[in-house]
Amino acid sequence: MGDGAALDRLMFDPFRFSEAVRASSDDCPLQAAGQHIFHQHGFTKHFDLDYNALDVFLRSIETMMPPNPYHNRTHVLDVLQSVHALLLTSRLARLVPPEMKLACLLAACIHDVEHRGVSNDFLVTIRDEWATEAHSAGPNEIHHAKVGVQLLSDERCRVLARVDPSVVEHVMATVRHLVLDTDMSRHKQTVDHLTELAKAAPFDETMAKSDALMSVLSGLIKIADLGHSWTLNAVHVRWVHNLEAEFFQMGDQERARGLPISMLCDRSTPSLQAGQVGFFDYVLLPLFSAFAELVPECAAVVYQAGQNRDSWVKPEPPLPSTELKLSTSTKWATGLAVGAAVLAMFAMKRR
């Protein structure tokens, strides 16, 4: 089995955990992590969960994840662990109701099920079946939510089979909502909601009993989905290389189909690593900072993301004073453009 203590910490290495589990047992890493995680939130006081069905459910998710460089079973493990560790922070542990914690964990498990390593844009452009079914709006996320909810309803995977039907209905509706909110086309909306909430006060009992709770949980799962950016630096760099490899694979498919190659996806002109600073400044840090204003106990996310952001800054020789002003403004414009491009690639929005 894996290291349970490691699973409870915000800074986590899913690659190391997976290797340890596979070396010491027949369990799959997601199953090993899930059995620990689902026992850590006091669910037995509130629900009669079927932990045998949970085993089957987690194993099923592992087998349903294609071997993409980035959107793979290790990413699912990473997001599940990140959601878990965030929920363990004192404020969230105290204020988030048990059924909402359960929904967050289940949403993390299914949020990318059957992901094919391509963007929503790509699916819409080639008129893929997923895009047709989704009417071109977030086909990846709609498919993940549909298949994931169906899996939880399968006789072998009914983790909630013995839970009160009214609670199940509420949990499943929340799961679907949270999975759909991982669509990065909703990113700005989530940041705006969190920023507005943070003007009032840190997340408290009053907010936990209002619609603000769902905004906080949507922010939580988005932060977990982007957990590669606020993890240990060596792990972060490994994820960035994996993401770039996945982008290149999609670019190869576009080239083979005679389609324009999406920005960041042309392996002949790699630019993802060069765009990391812009991505942090204009996409990631505004989300993380707004969330940390609401949940100060998660400030480590902002700190580590800042450390990872700075690791991509390369020292440059000093410029003559006549060129300094122009260079600085040009860098900001370039950073913003690249950040926007990375967001569009992550967002997988239809252009």
Three-point CA angle 159, 163, 166, nearest 5°: 120
Neighbours of 99 (CB within 10 A): 18
208 three-state secondary structure: helix
pLDDT band, residue 3 (cuts 50/70/90)? confident
> Which two three-digit tokens encode residue 130?
């997923």
Kindly tell me if the per-residue pLDDT of 93 is higher than 60: yes
CA 288 from centroid of its chain's CA atoms: 13
pLDDT band, residue 272 (cuts 50/70/90)? confident
pLDDT band, residue 350 (cuts 50/70/90)? very low
DSSP 117: S
Q: What pLDDT sits at residue 325? A: 47
Sign of CA dihedral 228, 28, 141, 259: positive
Residues 189 and 146: their CA atoms lie apart, in Å, by: 23
Q: What pLDDT sits at residue 270? A: 76
pLDDT in tens, 188-226: 999 999 999 999 889 999 999 999 999 999 999 999 999
Sign of CA dihedral 239, 5, 29, 90: negative
Q: Is 342 left (phi over 0), alpha (psi -120 to 50) or beta?
A: alpha
pLDDT in tens, 288-335: 999 999 999 999 999 999 999 999 997 666 656 545 444 444 444 444
| Rounded mean pLDDT, 130-140 | 91
pLDDT band, residue 273 (cuts 50/70/90)? confident
Q: Percent of the chain, pLDDT > 70?
A: 89
| Rounded mean pLDDT, 2-22 | 91
Kindly tell me if the per-residue pLDDT of 347 is higher than 60: no
Q: What pLDDT sits at residue 328? A: 43
pLDDT in tens, 157-168: 999 999 999 999
Judge if pTM exceeds 0.75: yes
> Which two three-digit tokens encode residue 345?
């690639």
| Rounded mean pLDDT, 38-51 | 94
Three-point CA angle 187, 112, 25, nearest 5°: 135
State the residue for tokens 């989300």: 287
- Structural contact between residues 301 and 247, judged by C-beta atoms closer than 8 angstroms: no
- Structural contact between residues 233 and 307, judged by C-beta atoms closer than 8 angstroms: yes
165-180 helix and 139-153 helix, angle to the nearest 10 degrees: 160
Q: Is 167 exposed, middle or buried (0-12, 13-18, 19+ CB in 10 A)?
A: middle
Alpha helices in the chain (DSSP H): 4-7, 14-24, 29-37, 51-64, 73-88, 90-95, 98-110, 120-125, 129-133, 139-153, 165-180, 187-198, 205-208, 212-225, 233-256, 276-279, 285-294, 299-311, 321-347
Report the range of poorest mean pLDDT among 53-67, 214-228, 334-348: 334-348
pLDDT band, residue 2 (cuts 50/70/90)? low
Q: What pLDDT sits at residue 24? A: 86
Query: 179-199 b/e with 16+ CB inside 10 Å = b?
Result: bbbbbbbbbeebbebbbebbe
pLDDT band, residue 345 (cuts 50/70/90)? low
**Average of per-residue pLDDT values in the chain:** 90
